[in-house]
Amino acid sequence: MTAQERMLEALRTEVLTGALRPGEQVVQEVVAEQHGVSRVPVREALQTLASEGLITHVPHRGYFVTRLSIPDLLEVYRLRTILETEALTAGIPVLTDADVNTIAELADRVDSAAAERDMAALTHANRDFHFAMFDAAGMPRLSRLLRQLWDASDVYRSLYFQQAGNRERVGREHAAMLDAVREHDVETTIRLHDEHRQHSVSWLTAALRREPAHRRTP
């Protein structure tokens, strides 16, 4: 595995778990030293994250963790709604029994991570759970676009998960989805996803309004 791939993974995790906070500058030399590599692979990883939108690049100034505005967050969720509906419509009917079992297992993993308050594991397991359904559509580009949109909002989802009530709610919602998925009930699965999203977007906009204390991404 190349150094830039390691850096990409490391940086993505740090952003997604909130170790690097929105608006914060990512100084190349610091990251390089922490991981024992030179600045070159760090730059290339940052480049990738920038083109995905997770990081914002300002020439001659540096790389900053992207800070979502509320309108941007709403747009992300609107696009997710459209594209996830498409993915579920194509994917749920063609799920095999093995797929369903995998999804059930992933739901368990979400629960354990939630119980242990392991945010990194929770974020990952949650993604895996949902993308097991999305990927079933067999539309790699659609999956990829969705991953980008999830990346963009994961920075804030870690906030959402930090509250115990939200973690419990997610557990219940996932269980309901699993039931619908078991019966290949596309309509219900979509409806549950819509509600799931709806709740987190309202919670998050409220949270963002409460805490406008970061300074703007320069």
Note the residues at the interface with a copy of itself (CB under 8 A).
Answer: 2, 5, 40, 43-44, 47-48, 50-53, 59-60, 72, 75-76, 78-79, 82-83, 86, 139-142, 144-145, 148-149, 152
Q: Is 56 in the site for DNA (CB under 7 A)?
A: no
Q: Which is nearer to DNA, 3 or 90 (CB)?
A: 3
Residue 26's binding partner out of DNA, a copy of itself, none, with CB under 5 to 8 Å set by partner kind: DNA
Q: Is 184 in the site for DNA (CB under 7 A)?
A: no
Q: Record the tokens describing residue 209, joined without a space.
A: 């309004």
CB of 113 to DNA, least distance (A): 30
Query: Looking at 19, 62, 118, 203, which residue binds DNA (CB under 7 A)?
Result: 62
Strand partners, 142: none
CA atoms of 77 and 84, how far apart (whole Å): 10
Q: Which is nearer to a copy of itself, 59 or 165 (CB)?
A: 59
CA atoms of 10 and 214, how far apart (whole Å): 23
CA atoms of 101 and 50, how far apart (whole Å): 36
Q: Is 39 in the site for DNA (CB under 7 A)?
A: yes
Classify residue 99 as exposed, middle or buried by CB count within 10 Å of its CB (0-12, 13-18, 19+). Answer: middle
CA atoms of 113 and 130, how far apart (whole Å): 15
